[in-house]
Amino acid sequence: MWRCIAALASLFLSICIGALPSAAADNFAYRKYHVTVSPAGHPPLRLYAEEAGRGPPVVLLHGLAGSAYTWRRVVRKMAQHHRLIAIDLKGHGRSDKPFDENYSANDQAAIVYAFLRQRRLRSITLAGHSFGGQVAVVLAIQLQRVDPKLISRLVLLDAPLFPQRMTWAISLLRKPVLPYIALSVVPSKLAAEMALMSEIMGFGRITDRDIDIYSEPYGDAAARHALIQTALQIVPRNSPQLIRRYRSVRQPTLLIWCRHDNVVPLSTGRRMLKTMRNARLAILERCNHVPLEQRPGAVAKLIRSFAAR
């Protein structure tokens, strides 16, 4: 029984799309702050963000269960030439985690837009990993008529952009009660270590500090609620309509995919390449679902070159 619950918790965290909560990297200067935003159709909430560097703005969105920390290695390699802004999405990291059900990509896109307007950002490159990639493309579609020039370029990394077969852990998440039990009774540090080992799978390394930071939020009931609500809505309710609108995205789009992605397969990236009107696909070796951790130099080089065009 306990082994099953531990396995569920660790597998759930490992599929929670790439992974680490918010904290500044050692010996690297971030400008860290909270901003209260008032998105249309949502109550006000506080978002946490970290910035580094100067130059053309690149906004970074993490995946499910992640945060600004997920991008730290990429930020280090880009900050000399760009202004990097990594946001903790609602329910993640140090941002607010209300006990509501508004955790879909559509909800998150509206909140990110409110943040971008408040910070008076324009002509940004918007990069999203995994669930963050879904949020990024939804926002680009939402802004086609109301603010088409805010996003100049899109970068989507290993993002779940089409319905796909769910892992057994995600299927279990759709059952009542069980995920809350698993995430509350299993020691968070043990679950984090098992999850990271599963996610990296030989293509990278993890440190004790990563495990400590990763496990931090799972002792908090609000964070667990946000995590589960986001996972339950990982496939948008308006998915067919959304997919039909992918082709309407006008921004140049860079798709970055790990050849061995064990969460969102490379076939998704290839399908998106055929669907979008102005996209190109870069395939990375020696990584599965977390290129930000496993191939940060390659990711930074690709984004830097793409944003400079």
Q: What contacts 177, CB < 8 A, 6 or more positions away?
A: none
Complete DSSP assignment for 173-190: HTSSSHHHHHHHHS-HHH
Q: Whole-angstrom distance between the N-terminal and C-terminal Cα of the chain?
A: 55
pLDDT band at 130 (very low <50, low <70, confident <90, very high): very high
Check if the beta carbon of residue 266 is closer than 8 Å to that of residue 283: yes
The kind and range of the H/E element at 84 are: strand 83-88
Listed residue (73, 43, 46, 44) closest to 60, CA to CA: 73
- Interval 112-129 mean pLDDT: 98
Beta bridge mates, 7: none
- Lowest-confidence segment of 57-71, 88-102, 228-242, 265-279 by average pLDDT: 228-242
Check if the beta carbon of residue 34 is closer than 8 Å to that of residue 214: no
Check if the beta carbon of residue 105 is closer than 8 Å to that of residue 135: yes
Q: pLDDT tens digit string along 44-89?
A: 999 999 999 999 999 999 998 888 989 999 999 999 999 999 999 9
Tally Cβ neighbours within 10 Å of residue 206: 17
The pLDDT of residue 166: 66
C-alpha to C-alpha distance for 160 and 217, rounded to whole angstroms? 24
Check if the beta carbon of residue 268 is closer than 8 Å to that of residue 164: yes
Range of the domain at 87: 2-307
- Check whether 207 has a pLDDT greater than 90: no
The count of residues in the chain is: 309
The backbone torsions φ and ψ at residue 254, rounded to the nearest 5 degrees and listed phi first, read: -105, 120
pLDDT band at 101 (very low <50, low <70, confident <90, very high): very high
Distances (CA, A) of 168 to 160, 173, 174: 16, 9, 10
Distances (CA, A) of 306 to 129, 172, 251, 253, 281: 16, 39, 12, 9, 12
> Token pair for residue 181?
């039990």
148: DSSP letter: T
- Interval 121-137 mean pLDDT: 98
The backbone torsions φ and ψ at residue 248, rounded to the nearest 5 degrees and listed phi first, read: -80, -10
The pLDDT of residue 287: 93
pTM of the model: 0.88
The pLDDT of residue 173: 58
For residue 162, the domain's CATH number is 3.40.50.1820
Check if the beta carbon of residue 16 is closer than 8 Å to that of residue 197: no
The pLDDT of residue 221: 86
pLDDT band at 252 (very low <50, low <70, confident <90, very high): very high
Mean pLDDT across the chain, nearest whole number?
A: 85
C-alpha to C-alpha distance for 292 and 63, rounded to whole angstroms? 11
Domain count, the chain: 1
pLDDT band at 224 (very low <50, low <70, confident <90, very high): confident
Check if the beta carbon of residue 93 is closer than 8 Å to that of residue 48: yes
